[in-house]
């Protein structure tokens, strides 16, 4: 069963790789990398906006980027390993 936890700095390379794997199939369709492929995950992690989903073996299989605002929480990105 996957578990969620806040992302740490050590997760950034894995988050970048996961986003690339999840979104690369859209590049030929839209002609450029989607925003999640070029996002600054180091900044999102440092700001405390990023969560990771791990499988039972500790492998990162998903990510959430949640940006808090005064009156709402923006779900900026959801990605799962394909």
Structure confidence at residue 2 (pLDDT): 86
Total of domains in the chain: 1
Per run of 10 residues, the mean pLDDT along the chain (length 82 residues) is: 94 96 97 97 98 94 97 97 93
Structure confidence at residue 6 (pLDDT): 98
Q: What is the pTM of this model?
A: 0.90
Q: What is the CATH number of the domain that holds 31?
A: 3.40.630.30
Domain range spanning residue 37? 3-80
Alpha-carbon gap, residue 27 to 43, rounded angstroms: 24
The separation between the first and the last C-alpha atoms of the chain, rounded to the nearest angstrom, is 17
Give whole-number Cα distances, 12 to 15, 16, 56, 71, 75, in Å: 5, 6, 20, 28, 19
> How many distinct helices (H) and strands (E) make up the chain?
4, 4
Structure confidence at residue 54 (pLDDT): 95
């Amino acid at each position: 069963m996957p578990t969620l936890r806040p992302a740490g700095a050590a997760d950034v390379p894995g988050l970048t790789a996961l986003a690339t794997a999840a979104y690369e199939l859209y590049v030929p369709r839209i002609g450029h990398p989607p925003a999640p492929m070029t996002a600054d995950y180091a900044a999102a992690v440092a700001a405390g906006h990023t969560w990771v989903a791990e499988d039972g073996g500790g492998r990162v299989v998903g990510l959430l980027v949640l940006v808090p605002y005064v009156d709402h929480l923006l779900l900026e990105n959801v990605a799962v390993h394909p």
